[in-house]
Amino acid sequence: MRRSMLALTAALLASAPIAAQTIQTTPTDRVIDQGTNHSEVMRIAQYLTDVIGARLTNSPGIRKAEDWTQAKFREWGLVNVHKEGFEFGRGWWNEKLAVRMVAPRPLQLIAAPLPWTPGTSGAVTGEVVLAPLADEAAFAQFKGKLKGKVVLISEPRELEEATEAPFKRWTDDELTKRDNYDLLNGSGGGNRAFNPARLTFGAKRDAFLKEEGAIGYAIMSSRNGKLVHGQNSQFQVGQSGLIPGIEIAAEDYRRLARLAKMGAKPTLEIDAVNHFDDSDTKAYNVLADIPGTDPKAGYVMAGAHFDSWAMGDGAADNGAGSAMVMEAARIIKASGIKTKRAIRFALWAGEEQGLLGSMAYVENHVAKRPVDAGASGMVRYMTWSRAFPITPGPDHGKLAAYFNLDNGSGKIRGIYAQGNTAVMPIFEQWFAPFRSMGAIEVSSRRTGSTDHVFFDAVGIPAFQFIQDPLDYGSMVHHTDVDTFDHLKADDMRQGALILAEFLINAANSDQPLPRVPLATAPTPADQFYTFPESAH
């Protein structure tokens, strides 16, 4: 009889509605559930890449992305969704580019337009001349020799043998080796080789080519394998090229240079249709918030840049990071998790021209540094972190942490602590639930060149995640093959849910993350003491 009653009780419990049972879940469980079973990260990435495509700052592509990303944030229930503008300059976009060799034989070439250079106003034909223009001293050598020519402005680089596989994931041992503390020596840090004249040389070269009557110029792709970039690193905000400029695939460029050197007179036909847009010279960051429960507790922040260069679809750089930031926002909102601090999400513009969007946010909200008011673009980028003193702004004490994603679609393997040793044991604890997902390394190392840099430079705890490299650096970064095909769905799901977890932890911690001392003007580097001559 007792056995029968026990069996009956078990059967009744088993048949009871799920809603009647108490199911205990942790915030981490809810994040993982949303980030895996209900993920939308690849849908977000596909729209940004397949539908919108390349998102050059102030181009039609990024204007579409501004509208679409704001609409998605509102759809998910975020608040204070808006754009913040900063002065950038004219927009530009390419409608068409066709480049072919017509002599000594017909051959279609692989090429990309250089942003902010004009089109050709129809197909133009000119003989190719190799005229390396590395500096102003070279102008005299080619004066009077470039009229009607297409100018290859550099000697071709030799083809180098590959020494590493083009696709890579970090091993645990390699990740461990990435933990090294950069011991600063009081000399002021990086950018020592910065030469402002290098950034103004492009305009002088353009003026020389225009004056000499060249019909266009070409640079060589920095990668082999017929990859091209559509990247113009010498572009200066507010300036545009004076003559058409193109980038030619490395293999095609070498062939043209060889033909020119042997006297075969290679001739190109170029048809470039480029458009400038001065209707709105401001670029815009997109911002959206999830409110906190304590209005006085401040906020934490996550960001990624959603601008790209002109070729490819801006998938790995940085549609992937943008999609993971947006997905983290959706995960947190959909999970219903409440946080003490507010969480702000940012999609930055102008990153490719010098982290201009995140710099503008820092200057408007967090802190200022006395940079030359006339400096813009890369000049501002290279000098900003060396200008003292730092003047904290209204959000300096409110912003408790900033997290950034900008290394492709590879899974998160750890985080760079930016020399903030006090935060390392905290991050170790936060990574504990995700070690089986491959997130294992908290590195004291500093990393740069992306949008956490200026937050870090004014004393905000700001961090970039360590990601598996995949084929990001070897193939897709800034190239015509930076498309949705190269994104890894499982990696991006993992990255979005870890970002969401870090934001929740930072927003709910009893104390804000520890900060390093606010930087002050450096003293001379430590050296052996030398006695004055009078003391001998």
Contacts of 16 (CB under 8 A, 6+ apart): none
Band of the pLDDT at 189, cuts 50, 70, 90? very low
**Quick check: 330 pLDDT over 60?**
yes
Element (H, E) at 54: none
Are 118 and 241 contacting, i.e. CB atoms less than 8 angstroms apart? yes
Residue 110 has pLDDT above 80, yes or no: yes
Check residue 163 and give its pLDDT.
Answer: 87
**More confident call, 236 vs 336:** 336
pLDDT given at position 523: 80
pLDDT, mean of residues 135-143: 96
Q: What is the pLDDT of residues 57-109, one digit of tens each?
A: 999 999 999 999 999 999 999 999 999 999 999 999 999 999 999 999 999 99
Whole-number pLDDT of residue 528? 57
**Six-digit token string for 388:** 């003292």
Residue 18's pLDDT is what?
Answer: 47
Confidence grade of residue 48 (pLDDT, cut at 50, 70, 90): very high
Q: Looking at the DSSP assignment, which residues form a beta bridge with residue 467? A: 412
Pick the closest to residue 472 from 323, 320, 355 (CA basis). Answer: 320
Percent of the chain exceeding pLDDT 90 equals: 81
pLDDT of residue 379: 81
Q: What is the DSSP letter of 163?
A: -
Mean pLDDT of 221-244: 85
Determine the Cα–Cα distance for residues 269 and 272; give it in Å rounded to an integer: 10
Distance from first CA to last CA of the chain, Å, rounded? 108
Write down the residue that tokens 């102030």 correspond to. Answer: 58
Q: Which residue has the tokens 């700052």?
A: 57
pLDDT at 353 over 50: yes
**By three-state DSSP, how is residue 517 classified?**
coil
**pLDDT at residue 181 in the model:** 83
Query: Does the pLDDT value for residue 470 go beyond 50?
Result: yes
Distance CA 26, CA 455 (A): 31
pLDDT of residue 142: 97
Is residue 237 very low, low, confident or very high in pLDDT (cuts 50, 70, 90)? low
What is the amino acid identity at position 441? E
Per-residue DSSP letter, 486: G
* pLDDT confidence bin for 530, thresholds 50/70/90: low
Which is more confidently placed, 160 or 478? 478
pLDDT of 434 over the 90 cut: yes
**CA–CA gap between residue 461 and residue 456 (Å, rounded):** 6
For residue 152, the surrounding DSSP H or E stretch is: strand 149-152
At 527 the pLDDT is 57
Q: What angle do CA 284, 332, 75 make, to 5 degrees?
A: 55
Which residue type, as a one-letter code, is found at position 260?
A
HEC assignment per residue over 70-114: HHHHHHCCCEEEEEEEEECCCEEEEEEEEEEEEECCCEECCEEEC
pLDDT, tens digit (0-9, with 9 covering 90-100), for 383-433: 888 899 999 999 999 999 999 999 999 999 999 999 999 999 999 999 999
* pLDDT of the residue at 161: 85
Q: What is the 3-state secondary structure (H, E, C) of 220-268?
A: ECCCCCCCCCCCCCCCCCCCCCCCCEEEECHHHHHHHHHHHHCCCCCEE
pTM, entire model: 0.92
What pLDDT does 525 receive? Answer: 66
For the cut 80, the answer to whether the pLDDT of residue 2 exceeds it is: no
Mean pLDDT, all residues of the chain: 91
Mean pLDDT of 200-226: 95
